[in-house]
Amino acid sequence: MGGQAKRNFHGTVLIADDHAVFRLGLVQLLRRHLKVKRFLEAECFAQVVEHLKDRDVSLTILDLGMPGFSGPQEITQMRLLRPDVQVVVLSASDSRKDILEALSAGAHGYIVKNQNMSQLVERLRHVLSGEIYVPAVLAELLPGPVEATELNSQPEQKALSSRQREVLKGLIDGKSNKEIARALNVAEGTVKIHLAALFRVLGATNRAHAVAIGKQLIR
Protein backbone atom coordinates (compact mmCIF):
# COMPACT_ATOMS: atom_id res chain seq x y z
CA MET A 1 0.00 0.00 0.00
CA GLY A 2 2.94 2.33 0.65
CA GLY A 3 3.72 3.36 -2.92
CA GLN A 4 0.08 3.47 -3.89
CA ALA A 5 -0.81 5.68 -0.94
CA LYS A 6 1.69 8.33 -2.07
CA ARG A 7 0.12 8.82 -5.49
CA ASN A 8 -1.41 12.16 -6.42
CA PHE A 9 -5.16 12.52 -6.68
CA HIS A 10 -6.92 12.56 -10.03
CA GLY A 11 -10.49 13.82 -10.19
CA THR A 12 -12.59 16.43 -8.43
CA VAL A 13 -12.78 16.84 -4.66
CA LEU A 14 -16.05 18.07 -3.19
CA ILE A 15 -15.48 19.93 0.09
CA ALA A 16 -18.67 20.21 2.14
CA ASP A 17 -18.34 22.53 5.12
CA ASP A 18 -20.29 25.63 6.10
CA HIS A 19 -17.15 27.58 7.07
CA ALA A 20 -15.69 29.32 4.02
CA VAL A 21 -12.30 29.92 5.64
CA PHE A 22 -11.94 26.23 6.49
CA ARG A 23 -12.88 25.25 2.93
CA LEU A 24 -10.27 27.65 1.57
CA GLY A 25 -7.57 26.24 3.84
CA LEU A 26 -8.44 22.68 2.87
CA VAL A 27 -8.34 23.55 -0.83
CA GLN A 28 -4.86 25.01 -0.44
CA LEU A 29 -3.67 22.01 1.55
CA LEU A 30 -4.94 19.44 -0.95
CA ARG A 31 -3.72 21.43 -3.94
CA ARG A 32 -0.24 21.56 -2.46
CA HIS A 33 0.14 18.05 -1.03
CA LEU A 34 -2.11 15.87 -3.19
CA LYS A 35 -1.88 17.98 -6.37
CA VAL A 36 -5.67 18.20 -6.61
CA LYS A 37 -6.55 20.45 -9.54
CA ARG A 38 -10.33 20.77 -9.37
CA PHE A 39 -12.60 21.43 -6.41
CA LEU A 40 -16.28 21.93 -5.79
CA GLU A 41 -17.54 23.50 -2.58
CA ALA A 42 -20.80 23.09 -0.67
CA GLU A 43 -22.01 24.92 2.42
CA CYS A 44 -25.17 22.87 2.93
CA PHE A 45 -26.28 19.31 2.22
CA ALA A 46 -28.58 20.35 -0.63
CA GLN A 47 -25.52 21.65 -2.48
CA VAL A 48 -23.73 18.36 -1.82
CA VAL A 49 -26.50 16.44 -3.55
CA GLU A 50 -26.43 18.87 -6.48
CA HIS A 51 -22.64 18.66 -6.89
CA LEU A 52 -22.70 14.86 -6.82
CA LYS A 53 -24.33 15.06 -10.26
CA ASP A 54 -20.87 16.03 -11.55
CA ARG A 55 -19.46 12.70 -12.74
CA ASP A 56 -15.87 13.89 -12.17
CA VAL A 57 -16.35 14.03 -8.39
CA SER A 58 -14.54 11.08 -6.83
CA LEU A 59 -13.94 12.22 -3.23
CA THR A 60 -16.21 14.12 -0.84
CA ILE A 61 -14.91 15.57 2.42
CA LEU A 62 -17.90 16.22 4.65
CA ASP A 63 -18.49 18.05 7.93
CA LEU A 64 -21.25 16.55 10.08
CA GLY A 65 -22.32 19.95 11.40
CA MET A 66 -23.24 21.55 8.08
CA PRO A 67 -26.81 22.85 7.49
CA GLY A 68 -29.18 20.21 6.19
CA PHE A 69 -27.14 17.34 7.59
CA SER A 70 -29.26 15.65 10.24
CA GLY A 71 -27.58 12.27 10.62
CA PRO A 72 -26.00 9.21 9.03
CA GLN A 73 -28.93 8.81 6.64
CA GLU A 74 -27.44 11.63 4.55
CA ILE A 75 -24.21 9.66 4.16
CA THR A 76 -26.26 6.65 3.08
CA GLN A 77 -28.08 8.85 0.58
CA MET A 78 -24.76 10.04 -0.86
CA ARG A 79 -23.49 6.48 -1.20
CA LEU A 80 -26.69 5.45 -2.98
CA LEU A 81 -26.50 8.42 -5.34
CA ARG A 82 -22.83 7.90 -6.14
CA PRO A 83 -21.46 4.54 -4.91
CA ASP A 84 -18.24 5.27 -6.83
CA VAL A 85 -17.44 8.37 -4.73
CA GLN A 86 -15.34 8.02 -1.59
CA VAL A 87 -16.83 9.83 1.40
CA VAL A 88 -14.64 11.06 4.25
CA VAL A 89 -16.13 12.70 7.33
CA LEU A 90 -13.96 15.53 8.69
CA SER A 91 -15.52 16.56 11.98
CA ALA A 92 -14.72 18.24 15.26
CA SER A 93 -16.63 15.47 17.03
CA ASP A 94 -14.72 12.49 18.43
CA SER A 95 -17.95 10.94 19.75
CA ARG A 96 -17.97 7.14 19.50
CA LYS A 97 -21.62 7.34 18.39
CA ASP A 98 -20.84 9.75 15.55
CA ILE A 99 -17.87 7.67 14.36
CA LEU A 100 -19.75 4.37 14.41
CA GLU A 101 -22.83 5.80 12.74
CA ALA A 102 -20.81 7.42 9.95
CA LEU A 103 -18.88 4.23 9.23
CA SER A 104 -22.00 2.09 9.37
CA ALA A 105 -23.68 4.46 6.91
CA GLY A 106 -20.89 3.84 4.41
CA ALA A 107 -18.23 6.50 5.06
CA HIS A 108 -14.76 5.47 3.90
CA GLY A 109 -13.09 7.33 6.73
CA TYR A 110 -13.66 9.49 9.78
CA ILE A 111 -11.06 12.14 10.56
CA VAL A 112 -11.22 14.33 13.66
CA LYS A 113 -10.40 17.98 12.94
CA ASN A 114 -7.70 18.21 15.61
CA GLN A 115 -5.11 16.75 13.19
CA ASN A 116 -2.13 18.76 12.00
CA MET A 117 -1.65 19.27 8.26
CA SER A 118 0.66 16.32 7.65
CA GLN A 119 -1.59 13.98 9.65
CA LEU A 120 -4.66 15.09 7.71
CA VAL A 121 -2.93 14.48 4.38
CA GLU A 122 -1.78 11.02 5.48
CA ARG A 123 -5.30 10.11 6.66
CA LEU A 124 -6.69 11.09 3.27
CA ARG A 125 -3.98 9.15 1.47
CA HIS A 126 -4.94 6.14 3.56
CA VAL A 127 -8.50 6.36 2.24
CA LEU A 128 -7.36 7.00 -1.33
CA SER A 129 -5.24 3.85 -1.17
CA GLY A 130 -8.44 1.82 -0.75
CA GLU A 131 -8.55 1.42 3.04
CA ILE A 132 -11.09 2.71 5.54
CA TYR A 133 -9.62 5.15 8.06
CA VAL A 134 -10.89 5.05 11.63
CA PRO A 135 -9.48 7.41 14.28
CA ALA A 136 -7.42 5.85 17.05
CA VAL A 137 -9.74 7.44 19.59
CA LEU A 138 -12.33 4.78 18.73
CA ALA A 139 -10.17 2.04 20.21
CA GLU A 140 -9.81 4.13 23.36
CA LEU A 141 -13.58 4.42 23.57
CA LEU A 142 -14.33 0.75 23.05
CA PRO A 143 -15.46 -1.19 26.14
CA GLY A 144 -13.12 -3.57 27.90
CA PRO A 145 -9.94 -1.53 28.50
CA VAL A 146 -6.72 -3.52 28.36
CA GLU A 147 -4.14 -3.01 31.09
CA ALA A 148 -0.56 -2.24 30.10
CA THR A 149 0.58 -5.47 31.74
CA GLU A 150 -1.66 -7.41 29.37
CA LEU A 151 -0.18 -5.68 26.33
CA ASN A 152 3.31 -6.69 27.45
CA SER A 153 2.36 -10.31 28.11
CA GLN A 154 3.15 -13.29 25.91
CA PRO A 155 0.89 -13.68 22.81
CA GLU A 156 -0.74 -16.83 24.23
CA GLN A 157 -1.99 -14.79 27.20
CA LYS A 158 -3.75 -12.16 25.12
CA ALA A 159 -7.52 -12.62 25.21
CA LEU A 160 -9.13 -12.21 21.79
CA SER A 161 -12.82 -12.56 21.06
CA SER A 162 -13.87 -15.11 18.45
CA ARG A 163 -14.66 -12.32 15.97
CA GLN A 164 -11.29 -10.68 16.58
CA ARG A 165 -9.63 -14.01 15.84
CA GLU A 166 -11.59 -14.27 12.59
CA VAL A 167 -10.51 -10.78 11.57
CA LEU A 168 -6.92 -11.54 12.57
CA LYS A 169 -6.99 -14.73 10.50
CA GLY A 170 -8.11 -12.66 7.53
CA LEU A 171 -5.20 -10.27 8.06
CA ILE A 172 -2.73 -13.13 8.22
CA ASP A 173 -4.18 -14.53 4.99
CA GLY A 174 -3.49 -11.19 3.32
CA LYS A 175 -7.14 -10.27 2.81
CA SER A 176 -8.28 -6.68 2.41
CA ASN A 177 -10.89 -5.18 4.74
CA LYS A 178 -13.49 -5.62 2.01
CA GLU A 179 -12.62 -9.30 1.59
CA ILE A 180 -12.74 -9.91 5.34
CA ALA A 181 -16.11 -8.14 5.54
CA ARG A 182 -17.46 -10.30 2.72
CA ALA A 183 -16.21 -13.50 4.35
CA LEU A 184 -17.74 -12.59 7.72
CA ASN A 185 -20.90 -11.11 6.19
CA VAL A 186 -20.48 -7.79 7.99
CA ALA A 187 -20.06 -4.17 6.92
CA GLU A 188 -16.57 -3.02 5.98
CA GLY A 189 -16.78 -0.34 8.67
CA THR A 190 -17.46 -3.05 11.24
CA VAL A 191 -14.23 -4.82 10.24
CA LYS A 192 -12.33 -1.58 10.76
CA ILE A 193 -13.82 -1.23 14.23
CA HIS A 194 -12.71 -4.77 15.11
CA LEU A 195 -9.25 -3.95 13.76
CA ALA A 196 -8.98 -0.90 16.00
CA ALA A 197 -9.80 -2.99 19.05
CA LEU A 198 -7.57 -5.84 17.83
CA PHE A 199 -4.57 -3.54 17.39
CA ARG A 200 -5.06 -2.28 20.92
CA VAL A 201 -5.26 -5.75 22.44
CA LEU A 202 -2.18 -6.92 20.55
CA GLY A 203 -0.27 -3.70 21.12
CA ALA A 204 0.17 -3.48 17.34
CA THR A 205 0.78 -0.20 15.52
CA ASN A 206 -0.26 -1.31 12.02
CA ARG A 207 -1.45 -4.30 9.96
CA ALA A 208 2.02 -5.75 9.42
CA HIS A 209 2.75 -5.57 13.15
CA ALA A 210 -0.60 -7.24 13.94
CA VAL A 211 0.15 -10.03 11.45
CA ALA A 212 3.56 -10.66 13.00
CA ILE A 213 2.02 -10.98 16.47
CA GLY A 214 -1.00 -12.87 15.18
CA LYS A 215 1.08 -15.60 13.57
CA GLN A 216 2.17 -16.55 17.06
CA LEU A 217 -1.43 -16.72 18.21
CA ILE A 218 -3.02 -18.55 15.29
CA ARG A 219 -0.86 -21.49 14.33
Residues 186 and 123 in one domain: no
Torsion of CA 160, 164, 166, 169, to 10 degrees: -80
**CATH code for the domain in which residue 196 is found:** 1.10.10.10
Domain boundary among 137, 156, 181: 137
Nearest partner of 19 among 67, 56, 57, judged by Cα = 67
In a structure prediction context, what are the per-residue pLDDT tens digits for the chain, which is 219 residues long? 343 445 567 899 999 999 999 999 999 999 999 999 999 999 999 999 999 999 999 999 999 999 999 888 999 999 999 999 999 999 999 888 888 888 878 888 899 998 888 899 998 988 888 777 878 776 554 444 333 333 344 444 456 778 888 899 998 888 888 899 899 888 888 888 888 878 877 777 778 778 877 877 775
Host domain of residue 205: 142-217
Same domain, 129 and 153: no
Residues 178 and 199 in one domain: yes
**What CATH number did the domain enclosing 23 receive?**
3.40.50.2300
- The total of structural domains in the chain comes to 2
Of 84, 114, 137, which marks where a domain is finished?
A: 137
Boundary (domain end) residue, out of 87, 117, 137: 137
Same domain, residue pair 95 and 182: no
Q: What is the mean pLDDT of the chain?
A: 82
Cα torsion angle, 35, 39, 43, 45, sign: negative
